[in-house]
Structure 1
Amino acid sequence: MNLTQSLFVIALLISFSAFFSMAEISLAASRRLRLRQMVDDGDPRAERVMKIQEQPGEYFTVVQVGQNAVAILGGIVGEGALSPVVAGLASHWWEPATAQTIGFLFSFTVVTSLFILLADLLPKRLSMAEPEALALRVSRPMQWCMTIFKPVVWFYSKAADALFRVLGLSTIRDEKITYEDILAMTEAGAKAGVLAAQEQQVIANLFELDTRTVGSAMTQRDRIAFFYQDDSDDIIRARIAEEPFSTYPVCAGDIDHVVGYVDAKDLFQRALNNLPMKLRDEGLVKKALVVPDRLTLAEVLQQFRQAHEDFAIIVNEYSLVVGVVTLNDVMSTVMGDLMGPVDEELIVRRDETSWLIDGITPIEDVERALLLDDLPHADEYETLGGFLMVMLRRIPRRTDKVVWGKYQFEVMDVDSYRIDQVLVTVVDPNKVADSPLPPATTKLPA
């Protein structure tokens, strides 16, 4: 072949190699959900691509055979076409042996560069940008290639399958969609501006309903506003004015003996009608839903739905009341800032390197605010105060400090053994060592 014919063959080989590159990347990058939408819209090509994705072995065998064969052939043709020409020109200045080497290096560099740029980088970037559209176009020609090269494909496929079996690897693509996949998609959508940051956070919070326990959303025992059965009208009015809530537990003797709950609206109606607010009246006090403190928020929602209630008393394994939770508390956990401002922020950012956090803040919210992962003994506590107790192995006192990662947690205020405020600051992990980990099997001292 003369030089013109050789260059034409090289261009043709580059085109073939580019086709195989696009076929490879477009199939691998095609999103299953997008293809499913195309199938639902009546595009048979999308169904063909999905079937290939389920068993892609023969498809990729054709791609690899084609790419390697074309690349080798391109090198042979390029070396035969360009080396003599360049060697002839170089022989005017160098010895024949040196000129031959220069000709070989020149042809190798030019042909390799053309294949890398035009047959690899360019088509693969194009395939990453529009994977589904290109996969639909190349699927039919690739099926023809799979038929034409079936004997070769069969040989290499069997050889590859044998290697997979020896290595104990699966050849079937796992199409299960996990919640991590969905969260990754929503995070990408938020970064791209398709989703607002608050919308993305709502989706993430929804998935946490199955992992967060009711303790992360409930009103703690020491903050519960409740009535005794024998409270007078004046006491009830004063309590409502001091601590206005929509629902109040009604107790007999102490908070651990809950007999029911009363709605504030029912008390208002009695007050407007000049009727006594007797909390022993069975028509006024309703039976309370009681749930264990180990339930997840998703399970609490299920309990609300089954009981047609929106208020529940939370008890521990010793039948002691540890808190109360409402449907609004659960929805606030999901909706976050979209529910509107709250009376008291649990996490207050003071500046770029410090936060003031309430001790009852759910540990999931702390991890999210500080971008923390894998806190030690995470299954032993639910709040920031619990984390400090586990790390210190005693009831924290004012000025106690715990260092973990790049953060220092300093107890600022303790109220009746309850950690009220914690100052979190960024420290240099190279200068301050992590606090020692407590043993996993020991229990907190009494």
Structure 2
Amino acid sequence: MLTSLLLIAVLIASSAFFSIAEISLAGSRRLKLRQLADDGDSRAERVLQVQEQPGHYFTVVQIGVNTVAILGGIVGEGALTPHYQAALQLLMAPEQAETLAFALSFASITALFIVLADLVPKRLSMSEPERMAMAVIGPMLGLVTLLKPLTWAFSSLTDLLIRLMGRPVVRDNSITHLDILALAEAGNEAGVVADAEQQMIENVFELDTRRVESAMTTRERIAYFSLTDDDAIIRTRIAEQPFSTYLVCEGEIDQVVGYVDATALFQRVLRGEPIELSAEGLVKKVLIVPDRLTLSEVLSQFREKLEDFAVIVNEYSLVVGIITLNDVMSTVMGNLVASYDEEQQIVRREDGSFLADGITPIPDVQRALEFETWPHAGQYDTLAGFLMVMLRRIPRRTDQVVWEGWRFEVVDVDSHRVDQVMIARVPAP
């Protein structure tokens, strides 16, 4: 019996080894392995190489697991059944004792293999996959070399079947933005990544999907000068609407000439010179971009043109808004750069409802309401646009739209512009 128990222990240890080899390789993170390899750990480099072509490795694992399982059944039945049978014959008939002894022997061996050869090693491999993978990579590569003819035959047959099913044979190790977002979310849940940091990471990837209209200053809020404005008009407008940059137009806003920095105007005031927009070098050439660009694309244009200010026009060459580098960065940084006295576009009320501005970008509304999808996605960028598409007309006061259990009610309209929208849960029927 002692010899049989020792043999069972060896089989359990062998099965645990193969379980660790399988789960740890699959669960090892390439980024962490690459860091370890760059620090000089050759075992991490070997694990990375196996992850690139894991076919022979997993073939050896399956050969080992199945061989050990078969041997465990054979050895276990012969090792424990006679001893169980001898003990049970003192209490029951020999035929019943033999049947029950076989069942007890089978249950005992199965329980030992499940706990010691499967659950415990796999739990360890999932908690520390890189460490366990590096611990077993040496012996596993030795077995791969030893069993190479057999593994080649099994791997070739497996690859053929996978290709017949139309599935990829090689593992795709490319990292997408969804993987990074998932890691950031996991880090936030673990307390490693702060809420603001996770939100900033999400905002960075939104730059490729959010159009400039979601971050621009709209047409009706633009402060601009006309080339014919005199010193008094310019000074009065600066006092009433203090900004760092002003558009300069030829008569109306759609006839853009350029822009002027408030700093340049202040310098003329400090020198006691009159403000004349026709002065040489005062008005600068402005960057003009179409309204279909994403924030990522306009950021690229800022970098190429060495500008931080742009005018946004639609397909009819009409000015729809302006955008600055600070607007783009505010979209990325979110509340980290917003001043405390800045009016928020969407505010949660005590009863759980929301009061939102009509120009609130859809991603901000989606984040607040935790929506997955929106109807007619891509046809609008703001909450007001959503209401227009759903109503198929210009929204009026008290108009309502219900979507995903939320009621969007227009509470204020200012000259065809949706000013305020109340968002509340729809009572359950």
TM-score, L = length of structure 1? 0.92
Q: Please tell me the residue identity of whatever aligns with 2:4.
A: S
Q: Which of 74, 80, 83 pairs up with 2:81?
A: 83
Whole-angstrom distance in 1 between the partners of 2:88 and 2:150: 42
Q: Which of 292, 298, 303 pairs up with 1:305?
A: 303
Per-residue deviation at 1:89? 2.1
Give the structure 2 partner of residue 119 of structure 1.
117
Give the structure 2 partner of residue 246 of structure 1.
244
Give the structure 1 partner of residue 160 of structure 2.
162
Deviates more, 1:150-159 or 1:195-204: 150-159
Whole-angstrom distance in 1 between the partners of 2:156 and 2:296: 48
Deviates more, 1:267-276 or 1:376-385: 267-276
Per-residue deviation at 1:293? 0.8
Whole-angstrom distance in 1 between the partners of 2:82 and 2:406: 68
Q: Which of 15, 20, 25 pairs up with 2:13?
A: 15
For each residue in 1:134-191, what CA deviation from the matched residue of structure 2 results, as whole angstroms up to 9, or x when unmatched? 1112111011212232333233222212211221111101111111111211222222
Give the structure 2 partner of residue 437 of structure 1.
none
Give the structure 1 partner of residue 406 of structure 2.
407
Give the structure 1 partner of residue 141 of structure 2.
143
For each residue in 1:266-306, what CA deviation from the matched residue of structure 2 results, as whole angstroms up to 9, or x when unmatched? 22222233322122334322222111111111221222222
Are positions 1:397 and 2:401 aligned together? Answer: no
Whole-angstrom distance in 1 between the partners of 2:118 and 2:351: 45
For each residue in 1:169-223, what CA deviation from the matched residue of structure 2 results, as whole angstroms up to 9, or x when unmatched? 1110111111111121122222222222212222221122222111111100111
Q: Please tell me the residue identity of whatever aligns with 2:130.
A: E
Whole-angstrom distance in 2 between the partners of 1:377 and 1:123: 50
Per-residue deviation at 1:327? 1.0
What does 1:197-276 align with in structure 2 at a 5 Å threshold?
Answer: 197-276=195-274
Give the structure 2 partner of residue 372 of structure 1.
371
What does 1:97-116 align with in structure 2 at a 5 Å threshold?
Answer: 97-116=95-114
Q: Is the 8 A contact 2:216 2:321 kept in 1?
A: yes
What does 1:311-326 align with in structure 2 at a 5 Å threshold?
Answer: 311-326=309-324
Q: Please tell me the residue identity of whatever aligns with 1:226.
A: Y
Q: Is the 8 A contact 2:288 2:312 kept in 1?
A: yes
For each residue in 1:289-333, what CA deviation from the matched residue of structure 2 results, as whole angstroms up to 9, or x when unmatched? 111111111221222222222111110000000001111111111
Whole-angstrom distance in 2 between the partners of 1:42 and 1:235: 69
Whole-angstrom distance in 1 between the partners of 2:360 and 2:9: 65
Structure 2: gaps spanning 5 or more residues = none
Whole-angstrom distance in 2 between the partners of 1:126 and 1:79: 29
Q: Please tell me the residue identity of whatever aligns with 2:260.
A: V
SS at match of 1:299: helix
SS at match of 2:242: coil
Per-residue deviation at 1:420? 0.8
Whole-angstrom distance in 2 between the partners of 1:177 and 1:333: 24
Are positions 1:359 and 2:358 aligned together? Answer: yes
Q: Please tell me the residue identity of whatever aligns with 1:77.
A: V
Whole-angstrom distance in 2 between the partners of 1:290 and 1:23: 58
Per-residue deviation at 1:120? 0.7
Q: Which of 283, 286, 289 pairs up with 2:287?
A: 289
Give the structure 1 partner of residue 30 of structure 2.
32
Q: Please tell me the residue identity of whatever aligns with 1:136.
A: M
Are positions 1:172 and 2:182 aligned together? Answer: no
Q: Is the 8 A contact 2:163 2:169 kept in 1?
A: no
Whole-angstrom distance in 2 between the partners of 1:310 and 1:151: 64
Q: Is the 8 A contact 2:355 2:420 kept in 1?
A: yes
SS at match of 1:374: coil
- Calculate percent identity across the aligned residue pairs: 62
Whole-angstrom distance in 2 between the partners of 1:235 and 1:91: 112
Give the structure 1 partner of residue 420 of structure 2.
421
Give the structure 1 partner of residue 185 of structure 2.
187
Per-residue deviation at 1:424? 1.1
Give the structure 1 partner of residue 40 of structure 2.
42
Whole-angstrom distance in 1 between the partners of 2:85 and 2:270: 108
Deviates more, 1:333-342 or 1:247-256: 333-342
Q: Please tell me the residue identity of whatever aligns with 1:424.
A: I
Q: Cα distance 1:305–1:150, how it changes in 2: closer, same or farther (>3 A)?
A: closer
Whole-angstrom distance in 2 between the partners of 1:190 and 1:69: 43
SS at match of 1:161: helix
Per-residue deviation at 1:254? 1.3
For each residue in 1:78-104, what CA deviation from the matched residue of structure 2 results, as whole angstroms up to 9, or x when unmatched? 122222222222223333232222112
Per-residue deviation at 1:352? 5.7
Q: Is the 8 A contact 2:359 2:383 kept in 1?
A: yes
SS at match of 2:378: helix
Whole-angstrom distance in 1 between the partners of 2:47 and 2:302: 45
SS at match of 1:380: coil
Q: Please tell me the residue identity of whatever aligns with 2:281.
A: G
TM-score, L = length of structure 2? 0.96
Are positions 1:58 and 2:44 aligned together? Answer: no
Per-residue deviation at 1:423? 1.0
Are positions 1:5 and 2:30 aligned together? Answer: no
Whole-angstrom distance in 1 between the partners of 2:232 and 2:352: 49
Whole-angstrom distance in 2 between the partners of 1:224 and 1:156: 70
Give the structure 1 partner of residue 68 of structure 2.
70
SS at match of 2:311: strand
Whole-angstrom distance in 2 between the partners of 1:308 and 1:145: 59
Coordinate RMSD, CA, aligned: 1.6
Q: Please tell me the residue identity of whatever aligns with 2:19.
A: S
